[in-house]
Amino acid sequence: MITDVERNVVALEPQHGRPLAAKSVLARLKSRAGRRPARPSAAVVAAALLAGLTPVAAGAQPVAAAAPNHRDDPTQYWNNVLLHTFRDARGMDAAPGKLTRAAAMVYAAIYNAESAYQYTYGTMKYQPYLNRPLKYADRPPRRRPDEEERVIDRTAYRIISQLFPGDQAYIDAQFTARTGTSPHSFDIINRLVVDPVVRQINAARSGDGSDNSQVYNGDTTTPGAWRPTGGSCQRASDAVTPNWGMVKPFVLSSGSQFRPATLSAFASYADLLASPAYAGQVEEVRRVGAVNSTDRTVDQTAAAWFWANDLDGTYKPPGQLLELTGIVARRLELDKYQTTRLYALVSLSLADSAIAVWDTKYDTPIKLWRPVTAIQATGGANANWQPLSADRSGAPFTPCFPSWSSGHAGLAGAWAGAMKRFFGRDNISFTAHSEDPHTPVAYRSFTNFSQAAREDALSRLWLGVHYRWDVTDGLAIGENVADYLFANTMLPTRPGHPARR
C-alpha cells in the first residue's frame, strides 16, 4: 500500500550527481506493496516538501508557491507586527524588561532558524545564538525561492503568538497577509526548523525569573529613598518589575556584571544628601527639567519629547530603537541573513541592558528617589515643582521605579554599541522616528549612532525625570553590555571548522 504522502514525493536525493526521477521513486515505493505499509525516510520527505511538494493529507493545505507580500525583508515585516503588540501592552507587561525580553526571544529564534537554513546549505558565516546549530536536511535539495522566507515567517509567527496571545487574531491576519496561507496550514518547515528552534529558546528562558510577581516592599520613608510619585504610581506595590535585576541574562553572567560604582561611594542616604555632588545633580534637573524651564532650549524640549514614548499606545522606548534598527538596515540594504543577525545582536543587548539597569535600580543599597520628589522636598518655591514629562492628559508623569540608573540611557547605549560593532563604524547617518503623542517633530536626523544615543539619554534629564548621573551610568552600562555580547555570542565561524555544538 502506498500512502498519500508517498504518492506526492519526488525524491531529490542525489544519484551519481543527479536527482532521482519521480518514476524511479514511485517504482521503489510500489515494490513495497504487499508488505507492511512503510513511511518514506524523513530526508526524502523533507527534500520533496522543501522543493515545494506537499502531502495530500486530511485537512492539510498546500503551501503557497509564492507569497503575495514578500516585497520587504521578512524580519522587518515581523518587527512591525511585534511593535503593534508593544503598543497594545499595558501595566507590567509594558515594562522595559518585559518588552526587551520578548524581543530578544523573537529575534534569537528568527536568527537561529535562519542559521539552520544557512547551515543546511553550507553558507553559515556566524555561530547561532547558544551555539547549537541545526541542520534540517542531511542532503538538502535545491533551494526553493521562498524557503528562506518560510523559515523566518513561520518562526516569527510562532514565537510572537506564544508571547502575545492577546493579539492572536491580529498576528494570524498578518501571517496570512504576508504569505497568502493560513498559519495553521501544513508546512514541513514547522517540524524541521520551527519546532526545535522554539523549543530551544523556550528551554533557555525557562525559569529565568521573569515571572517573579513579588511587589516592592522596600524603604519609602527615608529621605533620598524612592517612593511613589503620584498619578498611576500611588503605592510602593505599584513599583514596576522590582525583581527584574535578578532575571537570568541572555548572555551576561549576571545583572550586576557591569554595575557602576557611582552611588556605592555613599554609605547611607544621609551621606548622599549631604554631598555637593548630589546638590549639583538636583539643581541641574531643577533648572532644565521643569515644565516651565527657561534654561532648557527649544531643541532640548523637542528632543525630550521625541525620545519619550513612555505612554500606553506607543511602541515604548525598546520599540523605537527596534524601529530605528530597521531604518538603518534598509538604508544600508542588508540581506536577510545580515538583518536577522543585526536584530538578534541589538535585541539581546537591549534585554541584558534592561536587566543590568534594573539591578542598579533595585539591587543596590541606595534606591534613589526621583527628581520630582527630591526637588519638592527642598520646599519653598520648589514645593510645587513639576517635570516637563506628562501623560496624555497633560498631568505630570514620572515612571514608577527608582531613578538611578536610567533605563532609556541603558537601552540607548546598548543600541548604539551593538550598531557600531555590527557595522564596524559609528559614522552612519540616518533619520529616526517617534510616535510620542507630545513630540513636536516626528523625525530627527543624526550623523552617527553615538550622537543619537547621547541625545536619547539626555532627553530624560530635559524631561525632568532623571539626574545626569543616571544618564551617564546608564549609557556606560548599555555600552559595556553591547561590547560583551559582541565578543561572546554569534561570532564568525572559522573557515574549515564546523559550527560548535
The pairing of beta strand 430-433 with beta strand 14-15: unpaired
pLDDT at position 268, please?
97
Question: Cell numbers at residue 475, please?
Answer: 549609557
**Separation of alpha carbons 499 and 413, rounded Å:** 30
- Asked if residues 60 and 4 have their Cβ atoms less than 8 Å apart, the reply is no
CA angle 201, 177, 191 (to 5 degrees): 35
Read off the DSSP letter of residue 498: P
Length of the chain: 501
Backbone φ and ψ of 415, nearest 5°: -60, -50
How many CB atoms lie under 10 A from the CB of residue 430?
Answer: 18
**Separation of alpha carbons 98 and 120, rounded Å:** 33
**Separation of alpha carbons 341 and 326, rounded Å:** 12
pLDDT at position 70, please?
63
List the pLDDT tens digit at each of the 501 positions of the chain.
333 333 222 222 222 333 333 333 334 434 444 444 444 455 445 555 555 443 333 333 334 344 455 678 999 999 999 999 999 999 999 999 999 999 999 999 999 999 999 999 999 999 999 977 888 887 777 788 899 999 999 999 999 999 999 999 999 999 999 999 999 999 999 999 999 999 999 999 999 999 999 999 999 999 999 999 999 999 999 999 999 999 999 999 999 999 999 999 999 999 999 999 999 999 999 999 999 999 999 999 999 999 999 999 999 999 999 999 999 999 999 999 999 999 999 999 999 999 999 999 999 999 999 999 999 999 999 999 999 999 999 999 999 999 999 999 999 999 999 999 999 999 999 999 999 999 999 999 999 999 999 999 999 999 999 999 999 999 999 999 999 999 999 999 976 454 443
> Which amino acid, one-letter code, is at 392?
R
pTM for the full predicted model = 0.88
pLDDT at position 33, please?
43
